[in-house]
Chain A
Amino acid sequence: AQSVAQPEDQVNVAEGNPLTVKCTYSVSGNPYLFWYVQYPNRGLQFLLKYITGDNLVKGSYGFEAEFNKSQTSFHLKKPSALVSDSALYFCAVRDGMTTDSWGKLQFGAGTQVVVTP
């Protein structure tokens, strides 16, 4: 079984300040971790993923995330937030040990990010 927790329903940050969106996960095998962003009435846009390799992953739009195996976390970060970063962010995990080549993504509940000017 796999699960994802995003402990914060909403994160408020002033433009120019660092942004962090938290995510913790649970899988029985190797975790494949993803971050997606969703704007109102739109589908999900891929930001970044961790499969293997360096724990620090860099993605789109200046976002990065750090995989921490001991803490089973994959927090999303951006050094300097923009008003346009205001959106709904989802963390997702799949079990890398699954025999299904595509796998199923388990999504977190989502975190609303609000960046104020």
Chain B
Amino acid sequence: GAVVSQHPSWVICKSGTSVKIECRSLDFQATTMFWYRQFPKQSLMLMATSNEGSKATYEQGVEKDKFLINHASLTLSTLTVTSAHPEDSSFYICSAPRAGRQNEQFFGPGTRLTVL
């Protein structure tokens, strides 16, 4: 099956710093990737749709200047949490649909962010 990886798997940072999370499709190309946020024991909330070669599309209520998304290649999307605060602590998960299997999204293992 298709594989999506995320790096790092967990990160701890100080308040005010920026953190970059990478999402890679390892064995297929993804023109679109999705970024989700998940609070403990809660559902996934879609943050934004990452589009290769163009601007990301953000969901209502998500600050685009705080959560910077770059989709520079067909296998890599990055989410940068800028000036992180403790309330940004969460589990961030990316997903990518695969061409020919667009009704199925493949999820990364997630990144646990803790902001002190």
Chain A residues near B (Cβ < 8 Å): 32, 34, 36, 41-46, 49, 51, 88, 90, 94, 101-105, 107-110, 112
Smallest CB–CB gap between B102 and chain A, Å? 5
Chain B window 22-54, contacts with chain A (Cβ cutoff 8 Å), 1 for yes, 0 for no? 000000000010100000011110100100000
Chain B residue with the shortest CB-CB distance to A101: B102
Chain B residues near A (Cβ < 8 Å): 4, 6, 32, 34, 41-44, 46, 49, 91, 93, 95, 97, 102-110, 112
**Chain B interface main SS type:** strand
Is the beta-carbon distance between A44 and B93 smaller than 8 angstroms? yes
> Bound complex: CA of A88 vs CA of B6, how far in Å?
20
Q: Which of B97, B103, B106, B110 has the most CB of A within 10 A?
A: B103
Smallest CB–CB gap between B31 and chain A, Å? 9
Listed by A's residue number, 11 A-B pairs whose Cβ atoms lie within 8 Å are A42-B110, A43-B107, A43-B109, A45-B107, A46-B107, A94-B103, A102-B102, A102-B105, A107-B44, A110-B41, A112-B41
Known: A42-B110, A45-B107. A107 touches B43 (CB 8 A): yes
Known: A43-B93, A44-B93, A90-B43. A104 touches B49 (CB 8 A): yes
A43 touches which of B41, B42, B49, B110 (Cβ 8 Å): B110
Q: Which of A90, A102, A108 has the most CB of B within 10 A?
A: A102
Q: Kindly list chain A residues whose C-beta atoms are within 8 Å of the C-beta of B103.
A: 32, 49, 51, 94, 103
> Bound complex: CA of A32 vs CA of B101, how far in Å?
13
Q: Kindly list chain B residues whose C-beta atoms are within 8 Å of the C-beta of A90.
A: 43-44
> Bound complex: CA of A44 vs CA of B46, how far in Å?
14
A109 touches which of B6, B42, B109, B110 (Cβ 8 Å): B42
Chain B residue with the shortest CB-CB distance to A46: B104
> Bound complex: CA of A38 vs CA of B97, how far in Å?
18
Q: Kindly list chain A residues whose C-beta atoms are within 8 Å of the C-beta of B112.
A: 41
Chain A residue with the shortest CB-CB distance to B108: A43
> Bound complex: CA of A45 vs CA of B105, how far in Å?
10
Smallest CB–CB gap between A97 and chain B, Å? 13
Q: Kindly list chain B residues whose C-beta atoms are within 8 Å of the C-beta of A51.
A: 103
